[in-house]
Chains A and B, each alone.
Chain A
Amino acid sequence: MDHSFFVQALIYLGSAVLLVPLSKKLGLGSVLGYLLAGILIGPSVLGWIGNDGADIMHFAEFGVVMMLFLIGLEVEPQLLWRWRTAILGLGGLQVLLTTLIIGFIAHMIVGLSFNQSLSIGLIFAMSSTAIVLQTMTENNWMQTVAGRNAFSVLLFQDIAVIPILALLPLLSPDEAAGSAAQNHVTITQHLEPWARTLVVLGAVGAIVIGGKYLTRPIFQMVASTNLRELFSATALLLVVAITVLMSLVGLSPALGAFLAGVVLANSEYRHELESDIEPFKGLLLGLFFIAVGASIDFELIAQRPGLIAILVLGVMLIKLGILAFLSRMFRMRVDQFLLFAFALAQVGEFAFVLFSFAKDQHIFSTELFNLLMVVVAASMALSPIFMLVMEKVLMPLVVKKIPHRNGPEADAFEESNPVIIAGYGRFGSVTGRFLKANGINTTVLDANSDRVESLRKIGIKVYYGDALRIDLLKAAGADRAKLIIVALDDSAQVLQLVNTVKKHFPNMHIIARAHGLDDTYELMDAGVLHVFRETIDTSLRAGTEALKIMGVRAYTAQRAHDLFLQHDEKSLKKMAAARHDKKKYINAMRNRIEELETLIQNDIHERSIHTHTGKDMSEIRKEDEETVEEED
């Protein structure tokens, strides 16, 4: 076995485990932690990893693809349509203005050739999807207006990469333009433009149609095997397949993955997919950031510190200015505008690919290329610091509180319902229907794939998945939900889930379904305030109806019902405390029954003694009936 792989893994993982928690603890966010880890182990500091950083970066870019897939899962198609102004308007203008202004400066002031300036303008217009989205998600900013708009711009940039890749060869000074780079082998490059368009459209269509009709039976089949790892493998396979397909036809894999995510956003397997892909994405993104950190050429920076500082800050400030202008134009609130502009001010990872491609087209000399790459890497590394300055210094000046979670004007970016229902059997389904009828949205999880399938058929949005898993709960929005209703069929699982929720999501209220007395006690011991025995209400209602049939008036029967229930719940606590001592328990049980009888009898009796005559009602009534009969 190749030991060097493990040594490499040791270095990457070790540096990440060491620095990321530290960085998070210092409030600097995970991205900066990874970047620092990369710088630390990179050639400039410790030199533990050599120049293979670039290769690793290519590999780790797959993390970005996964991230876009995950984001796609949370964007329903209608949402995308509603964002069209932001995507086309905001995104289009951002790319256009940045290209023009940076290109103009490069051409007129720095004195580069027109083609070089245009390339640089286009490439610098790109922002880093990885850094922006990671930071935004980490801080719960995705659901704000700024988060949504930043995402729209990134989406447009993702799309823009395709025409830029097509344009760069035309800017090449070579006569033999179009001699595509080796690492960019596509099946479409020898085709006529119209045929290429057709193939691209076909691939997109394949993702949409395949995602809509093919995935469900496959997932269902895999889910019915009950092998978790097989489901994870299927999920990974899906993303890898899209990446391969997209690369073959020359489209951005990230874009394809995003599209597939959108198609699957309504699927019942959405949360399961999310929780399966999430850890891979996290690891690969971390690796990606490390690679970026490692690729910063500090030697070059040391040689020309002034120039590079001016370039990096210049580019970022220009981008910032354009973004600020756009956010005012699109009438964002001042806090949102800060968030939006600072988030997107860096140059993104697309620049690595595009600059490399441009260099292969001989647009840049090696020297200029190296300089540009340093600027890109440094701007990415500075980005978290920019965000930090914005968040800690500027933001407090304009608003008291940073917009956490959904601002009132924001579209829900991802499904984040206030209530999660775990288990949609005969208990959960009634509760769920009741909440729905009252306009409260719920996210429903059920581990029975047959039930999920049939509920979906009648139009109830149920997600397949085992609610006992923390990652799945997270994907279902447990971090943001206000309440979880634990209505699983199995009482041991109810208790297990309650404990999981208490431990990992302590802010959620818990309503738990109990089956008998034993698990009621256990749930009470676990600290659940709202325990509902599944049969008590129904049995009591049946009893109340029986009273009515026996001639008791409805209101009196209702009072007896309420009294019984109140007392029963009160004595439940006493019995829970006494239950480990058999003798005490039996005593408590007996007391409960006796007390209850006295209580209800008193209620009836108190109101039945005729206050004025002191006669018992039954006597009076007898008297009365006799008289009335005489009268008639």
Chain B
Amino acid sequence: MNKILLVVAHPALEKSRNNIRLIKAAGNVENVIVRDLYELYPRFSINMAKEQSLLEQSDVIILLHPFYWYSIPALMKQYLDMVFTHGWAYGKEGDKLEGKILFNALTTSGTRESYAPDAHNRFPVSAYLIPYNQLAYVCRMHYLPPFVLHESGKADASASARHAKQFKQLLKLFASGQPDLAQFKELEYLNDYEVENVL
């Protein structure tokens, strides 16, 4: 059994049905711990020791966030800065995250097609996620492709629910045992993995 840590950052989560739904779905899976950063640290004073110990106990770490300006919200950046420290996460003595799995789960209003060289967003989502990819590399973690909800604003209730369901199945897969990382790494999005076939 793998333990999953879902790190959530949304400054107005009460207004994001997609994210609320994803968290709810994740909460129903065994062995998932949710860290709702904006609720826990409204004044940005992150409890470093506590967060580090939670990270140490987990096998899979998911960063769930809206894709604000092609990036993570401020508090999640603060979280990475304060918690993923030298000598703990990386560096000579820093091996506490070694071998763990990391990926982003994000919601964006842009379409999947818009993240292309000749389209509005010009780069694929993965290009914007290079910092986290590299963070995982430096911390000797396995970085997986993102789990993305496009057109988050237009997603109606059923689309949103479908997305959440898929997320839940994915989490169950991760929780259940040894997912095939090589296979995951070849995908563009984790969404593309046919979970239902496996389960």
Contacts and interface: CB of A to CB of B under 8 A. Distances in A.
Interface of A: 552-558, 607-608, 610-613, 617, 620-621, 623-624, 626-628, 630-632
A555 B11 CA distance: 7
Given A555-B39, A612-B109, A627 B14 contact: no
Interface in B1-44: 11-15, 17, 20-21, 24, 28, 38-40, 42-43
A617 B42 contact: no
B158 interface: yes
A553 B161 CA distance: 23
Interface in B123-166: 153-154, 157-158, 160-161, 164-165
A608 B153 CA distance: 13
B37 to A, nearest CB: 9
A623 B21 CA distance: 12
A504 B138 CA distance: 59
Contact of B17 (A555, A557, A558, A624): A624
Contacts of A624: 17, 20-21, 157, 160-161
B169 to A, nearest CB: 12
Given A617-B14, A628-B21, A628-B24, A623 B157 contact: yes
A545 to B, nearest CB: 11
24 contacts: A552-B14, A553-B14, A554-B39, A554-B40, A555-B11, A555-B12, A556-B14, A558-B43, A607-B15, A608-B15, A610-B15, A611-B109, A612-B109, A612-B153, A613-B153, A621-B20, A623-B157, A624-B161, A627-B160, A628-B21, A628-B161, A631-B164, A631-B165, A632-B28
A555 B38 contact: yes
A553 B154 contact: no
A627 B157 contact: yes
A613 B154 contact: yes
A518 to B, nearest CB: 31
Contact of A554 (B15, B38, B165): B38
A600 to B, nearest CB: 14
A295 B15 CA distance: 91
A621 B18 CA distance: 10
A553 B109 contact: no
Contact of B42 (A554, A612, A620): A554
Interface residues of B, number: 25
Contacts of A556: 12, 14
A621 B12 contact: no
Where chain A touches its partner, the secondary structure class is helix
Contacts of B38: 553-555
Nearest to B109: A612
Contacts of B157: 623-624, 626-627
A430 to B, nearest CB: 18
Given A617-B15, A628-B161, A555 B154 contact: no
A608 B17 CA distance: 11
Contacts of B13: 553
Among A558, A623, A626, A627, the most chain B Cβ lie within 10 Å of the Cβ of A627
A176 to B, nearest CB: 82
A611 B42 CA distance: 24
Contacts of A623: 17, 157
A624 B20 CA distance: 10
A554 B39 CA distance: 5
Contacts of B20: 621, 624
Contacts of B11: 555
B150 to A, nearest CB: 12
A632 B25 CA distance: 9
Contacts of B165: 631
Contacts of B160: 624, 627
Given A555-B38, A557-B42, A611-B153, A620 B17 contact: yes
A558 B154 contact: no
A611 B40 CA distance: 26
A556 B16 CA distance: 14
A558 B42 contact: yes
Nearest to B40: A554
Contacts of B12: 553, 555-556, 607-608
B152 to A, nearest CB: 8
Given A552-B14, A617-B15, A624-B157, 6 more contacts: A555-B42, A558-B43, A608-B12, A617-B14, A623-B157, A627-B158
Interface in B74-101: 75
Interface string B30-66: 0000000011101100000000000000000000000
A624 B161 CA distance: 8
Contacts of A631: 161, 164-165
A552 B42 CA distance: 12
A611 B16 CA distance: 11
A80 to B, nearest CB: 43
Contacts of A632: 28
Nearest to B156: A623
A628 B17 CA distance: 10
A627 B161 contact: yes
Contacts of B15: 607-608, 610, 617
A433 to B, nearest CB: 19
Contacts of B24: 628
A554 B37 CA distance: 10
Nearest to B158: A627
Nearest to B15: A617
Contacts of A608: 12, 15
A208 B169 CA distance: 80
A632 B24 CA distance: 11
A392 B61 CA distance: 70
A610 B42 contact: no
A624 B14 CA distance: 12
Contacts of B109: 611-612
A612 B17 contact: no
Nearest to B24: A628
Among A607, A608, A610, A624, the most chain B Cβ lie within 10 Å of the Cβ of A624
A469 B40 CA distance: 48
A617 B12 CA distance: 11
A563 to B, nearest CB: 13
Contacts of B17: 620-621, 623-624
B6 to A, nearest CB: 17
A612 B15 CA distance: 12
